[in-house]
Amino acid sequence: MIAKLKGLIDSAGEDWAIIDVAGVGYLVFCSRRTLGRLGAGEAAELLIETHVREDHIHLYGFFDALERDWFKLLTTVQGVGVKVALGMLSVLSPDQLTQAIAAADKGMITQAPGVGPKLATRILSELKDKVGSIALGSLPGAVDAGSLAPGEAGGGAIADAASALVNLGYQPSQALSAVSRTAGKLGGEATVEALIRGGLGELAPMNAKGSA
C-alpha cells in the first residue's frame, strides 16, 4: 500500500501527474487544486490513497492531509465515486466544502461536475454530522477563544472560530453552521474574532428558544 510519494514531476495532464521516484514513474490522479501546485521538473511530495481493484491499481494524490481526508469522506457517500470526489475538490476548497455542508448550501455543492440536486441533497444529508469532526480535526489542537487575536481570516478562520465555539459548549455542526452564516454576511476578510462574535449572535436565538 503506497501512502506517500516524493520525487520529481515528470509530466501532468487534466487530472493526472506522473511522479518520477528514483527512475520509476507513478501515475497519480489529482484534483485541479493539487495539480495547480505542481510544476514539471519540480520536486513534489504527495499523500497517496491507493485503490486496489480486480482490474487495476489506482493512485490518488493530495497536496495536504485535509484534502485527502475530504476525499475519503466524500467517497463514503453513495453515488460519489473517486471522479466526482476529485471534481468536487477541484471546484471547492476544503473550507468551502465545510461552509456549504454546514450551511446546507445545495447551490454551492452543485457547482461540482457530476453533482446534481439529488446527489447534492444526499451529500448534505449524510455529511452534515461529520463535517465538524473533519474541519476541527484539521487543527493541531482545540482553540481557546480567549487566545484568538484579530487577524486576516485566512484558510482556517472558519475552523478556528468554530473550534472556539465548540470549546464554549456548542455542538460542532451548530458551531460550523453559525460561523458559516456569519462568514457569508461578513465576507472573506472577516477576522476570527469577528466570526466568533457573529457566530455567538447566530446561536443566541437558539439558546433563547431552548431555555423558553
State residue 101's pLDDT score: 83
DSSP SS3 for 157: helix
Q: What is the C-alpha separation between 55 and 46, in angstroms, rounded?
A: 24
List per-residue pLDDT tens for the chain, 212 residues long.
899 999 999 999 999 999 999 999 999 999 999 999 999 999 999 999 999 988 889 999 999 998 999 999 999 999 999 999 999 999 998 878 887 887 788 999 999 999 999 999 999 999 887 776 565 555 433 333 333 343 334 446 777 888 888 888 887 767 877 887 888 788 767 888 999 999 899 888 766 555 55
State residue 90's pLDDT score: 96
In CATH, what is the architecture of 4-62?
A: Beta Barrel (2.40)
Residues of the chain with CATH 1.10.150.20: 65-128
State residue 62's pLDDT score: 97
CB atoms near residue 155 (< 10 Å): 12
Q: What is the C-alpha separation between 98 and 113, in angstroms, rounded?
A: 18
State residue 50's pLDDT score: 95
φ, ψ at 40 (rounded to 5°): -55, 130
Nine cell digits for residue 99: 461552509
Nine cell digits for residue 183: 462568514
State residue 209's pLDDT score: 54
Q: What is the C-alpha separation between 124 and 184, in angstroms, rounded?
A: 18
Q: What CATH superfamily classification does 65-128 receive?
A: 5' to 3' exonuclease, C-terminal subdomain (1.10.150.20)
- All residues at 6 or more sequence positions from 188 whose CB lies less than 8 Å from its CB, including other chains: 153
User: pTM of this prediction?
Assistant: 0.69
Alpha carbon distances (Å) from 135 to 1, 34, 114, 141, 158: 26, 19, 24, 12, 9
